[in-house]
Amino acid sequence: MTASVGVTLTNHTDSVVDVMRRADFAVFAAKSAGKNTFRFFDAASQADLVYRSQLMVDLRSALQKEQFVLWYQPQVTDDGRWVGMEALVRWQHPEYGLIPPATFIPLAEESGLIHQLGSWVLRTACQQLVAWSADPERELLTISVNVSGKELQQPDYVQRVVDILQSTGVNPLWLKLELTETLFAGDIENIIEKMQALHAQGIGLSIDDFGTGYSSLSYLRRLPIDEIKVDKSFLEGALVNPKAAAIVKSIISVGLNMGLQVVAEGVETVAQRNFLKEHRCRVFQGYLFGRPGPADQPAPAFTVLTDAAVSREGGGV
């Protein structure tokens, strides 16, 4: 047997109800920390838990109230071509403002609402692809959609994706699904089977944050993927840390040698772009090229990223 324990300190002025409520908050904090541990109550933790509990309640009606929006971040090539977008969901909360996915996606997974939310994101992204197909500036863009592990584990996930493709009339060749490596810690055979079924529909598959999770070349060669994405955490230190640089170069080399497209995330400086370009990475995503924004955002201004402009700015590797 294991236990999660909440502890609170008290004095003679506290009521029994107050003591029990604080201890209950501490227990919840212990469970949120992974269970089989203990936590002391503190006011800051209580505020966080109250906020989290309120979001959990509000999340249940957020889809019906149309509070979610999709923003898109550009993906560009080394010669400045705008080739794709990553769809990033935001929650426009009426009280707390724009809430990032890192805050509410874990709540959606915990509550089981991730399936409904994931279907909304995919359907909205597919509808956007159809709309862009009539725009000469955007008709060849792909859209990448993140897939939660909870979604992919559902027996009917592939059929739900197929239903959305058919109902929206989108060309599946312009859609990519991004999967994280943590998915492969579970039933790998089942995951591969579903990936193969999705790939058979013409959908592109990408491994997000490559190298941060359960990387294994033994399973990588079995996956029907088209793309791997270099995680921002590796790129941040690549210009000053030889080990980080070696990891980035190795990921790029593995991807290219396997015939995969390699996309570098979190590119924020010209020096980072040049480092990646030197080592044959040709597709980039990050604030240097554009921040996430609405679907009708203008194309990023790429002129500042030409080699001549880099020289004028004094940039380089």
- 58: pLDDT strictly greater than 80: yes
The mean pLDDT of 65-76, rounded to a whole number, is: 94
Catalogue all structural domains in the chain, each as residue range(s) with its CATH number.
5-41 (no CATH), 71-313 (3.20.20.450)
Buried b / exposed e over 205-234, threshold 16 CB at 10 Å, is bbbbbbbebebeeeebeebebebbbbbbeb
Residue type, 40: F
d(CA 246, CA 251): 9
What is the arithmetic mean of pLDDT over 186-192? 84
The answer, yes or no, to whether residue 312 has pLDDT greater than 80, is: no
Give the pLDDT confidence score for residue 59 in this predicted structure: 93
Q: Which two tokens stand for residue 96?
A: 């707390």
**C-alpha to C-alpha distance for 35 and 196, rounded to whole angstroms:** 36
Mean pLDDT of 12-28: 86
Share of the chain above pLDDT 70, in %: 91
pLDDT in the model for residue 54: 86
